[in-house]
Structure 1
Amino acid sequence: MSFSLNGKTAIVTGSANGVGLAIARHFADQGAHVMLADLDEGRLKREVAQFPDHGENTRFFAGDLREKLTVANLMSATVDAFDRIDILVNAIRQCSRADPLDAQDDAVETLLQQNLMASLRVTQAAAKRMIAQGESADTKAHSVGAIVNLTSIAARRSQPELMAYSISTAALDQMTRSMAVALAPKRIRVNAVAIGSVMSANLKDQMREHEDYRDSILKHTPLGRIGAATEAAEAVQFLASDAAGFVTGQIVTVDGGRTLIDPVSAPAH
């Protein structure tokens, strides 16, 4: 099987910065046609202008993907530009801190809408297009589409101040598994990459706010370093490619081993 993305069309949401942008760049470097989608139109325009094949193999779409009409317009814009949709990468990830005991705080609802519902709506719309392509094409390919969700190890960790983010990413993990089963008969694979110790926009912000945070991450990461966004992008490439043709419903963790160890050290004998 091939890891190649050459000639395939991919939508990458949340791609104005951070890991989403790294994924979009990596896919473009691998020969894919890429539609970058995000809310930040100014940043999208600046970033896409720096792609080597700007105007030929890359486009951008700006809009609020929590809105159903915006999602429909994204599908239309992608098909108009590249004729088809082969891959969807849901890389929308918003993180915020909140007091879990504050009944007035709407962080959980906000992040469920941003991180879960936006990805669900885009997944449903893209899957319908992939199914239609599979039915109209004269092909016996094992897979007619691949969907990869970008999630987080926060789904498996308990940090009260990040409760809203943890809940939204845990829900995204379950969406991945449920959609994988639902779409398997239609030959569409659905997987996720859960990132932890990977340099993202959120992680940069946290390290700026807390001087000792970087040292704490390194201490609790067996590989002893923070991963590059491109390393997450390569994991996404594998799941999106034909090389993962028999892989679906899986959450692949890219965190340098951070979730493997207990932060509480055993007492000395």
Structure 2
Amino acid sequence: MSLSLAGKTAIVTGAAKGIGLAIARHFVDRGARVMFADCDETALAEAVDGQTGEDSPIRGYGGDLSQKLAMANLLSATVDAFDRIDILVNASRNCLLSDPLNPEDQSLEAMLKQNLMTSLRLSQMTAKRMIAQAEKDGNEDGPVGAIVNISSLAAQRTQPELLAYSIAGAALDQATRSLALALAPQRIRVNGIAIASVMTASLQAALRDNPDWRGEIEEKTPLGRIAAPSELVDAVQFLSADGAGFVTGQILTIDGGRGLLDVVAAPGY
């Protein structure tokens, strides 16, 4: 089974920090050429750290990917830099708490836009580029591309404060399965990874404000700890590599065993 990413070109969204940054750096270390994409241009500049020379496997794209024009520009910038697109990792995500009994609460609209529609639209546009690329290359039977969506265990668990986040996550999981079926004839695989608590900058900040949450999260996670971003990257590599060529439409859960229990932990984590 080949899990090599050497020579592949990937786009990773949310790549300025946290999970997206860990994935993007891992891909570069494994020989891929990677477009780091994020709306936070300041953090993105720090992430790429000037390593974007003509011969570098790293490029950066800053823009609001909820806008179709920004998506199109991202794809064009990637092709201009690396000539092709083989992998898309939709790692950009956000978590807003909801007031489930307030009809004026706008969190659902925001979460659907950020965590569902951006990933869905970018996947659709990227798939079209991949298909056109395969036709141009005369690729009639080999793998054409892989898309990986980063989702959440919240999509499978009920927690009132996460009403919007959970709905958006469940919708993204269904979009993953639907796209997998739609793109299978084109030899593009689509999979997802559902994660639980990961020690990102946002969780670190939340734990500083709510120190009791750490104990609650660890107690309700069978493996007894919070995952590091680096613990997700091998799974993303597997789903992106040609060695997973018969895997599509799957949601791989990486949660330290929490999904085995009928419990929820601290809001959002």
**TM-score grouping bracket, smaller chain normalisation:** over 0.9
Q: Is 1:98 aligned to residue 98 of structure 2?
A: yes
Matching residue of 2:209: 209
1:212 offset after TM fit, Å?
Answer: 1.2
Asked if 1 retains the 8 angstrom alpha-carbon contact of 2:66 and 2:117, the reply is: yes
Matching residue of 2:235: 235
Deviations 1:149-176 (A, max 9, x none): 0000010111111111111111110010
* CA–CA distance in structure 2, aligned partners of residues 198 and 4 of structure 1: 25
Deviations 1:68-102 (A, max 9, x none): 11111001000000000000000011111121111
* CA–CA distance in structure 2, aligned partners of residues 55 and 226 of structure 1: 37
Asked if 1 retains the 8 angstrom alpha-carbon contact of 2:52 and 2:58, the reply is: no
Matching residue of 2:223: 223
Could you state the TM-score of these two structures normalised by the residue count of structure 2?
0.94
DSSP-derived class of the 2:66 partner: coil
* CA–CA distance in structure 1, aligned partners of residues 8 and 111 of structure 2: 31
Matching residue of 2:159: 159
1:202 offset after TM fit, Å?
Answer: 3.5
* CA–CA distance in structure 2, aligned partners of residues 216 and 51 of structure 1: 40
- How many corresponding residue pairs? 264
**Could you list the runs of 5+ residues in structure 1 that have no partner in the other structure?**
265-269
Matching residue of 1:170: 170
Matching residue of 1:61: 61
Asked if 2 retains the 8 angstrom alpha-carbon contact of 1:8 and 1:32, the reply is: yes
* CA–CA distance in structure 2, aligned partners of residues 113 and 5 of structure 1: 31
Cα 1:200/1:258, change in 2 over 3 Å: same
DSSP-derived class of the 2:249 partner: coil
Counterpart of 2:65, as a letter, is: L
Deviations 1:15-49 (A, max 9, x none): 11110111011111111000011101111011101
5 Å-filtered alignment, 1:76-115, equals: 76-115=76-115
Cα 1:52/1:36, change in 2 over 3 Å: closer
**Identity over aligned residues, as a percent?**
60
DSSP-derived class of the 1:126 partner: helix
Cα 1:171/1:54, change in 2 over 3 Å: farther
**Could you list the runs of 5+ residues in structure 2 that have no partner in the other structure?**
265-269
Matching residue of 2:183: 183
Counterpart of 1:188, as a letter, is: I
* CA–CA distance in structure 2, aligned partners of residues 15 and 5 of structure 1: 18
Could you state the TM-score of these two structures normalised by the residue count of structure 1?
0.94
Matching residue of 2:144: 144
Asked if 2 retains the 8 angstrom alpha-carbon contact of 1:86 and 1:145, the reply is: yes
Compute the RMSD of aligned alpha carbons.
1.7
5 Å-filtered alignment, 1:27-66, equals: 27-49=27-49, 56-66=56-66
Counterpart of 2:9, as a letter, is: T
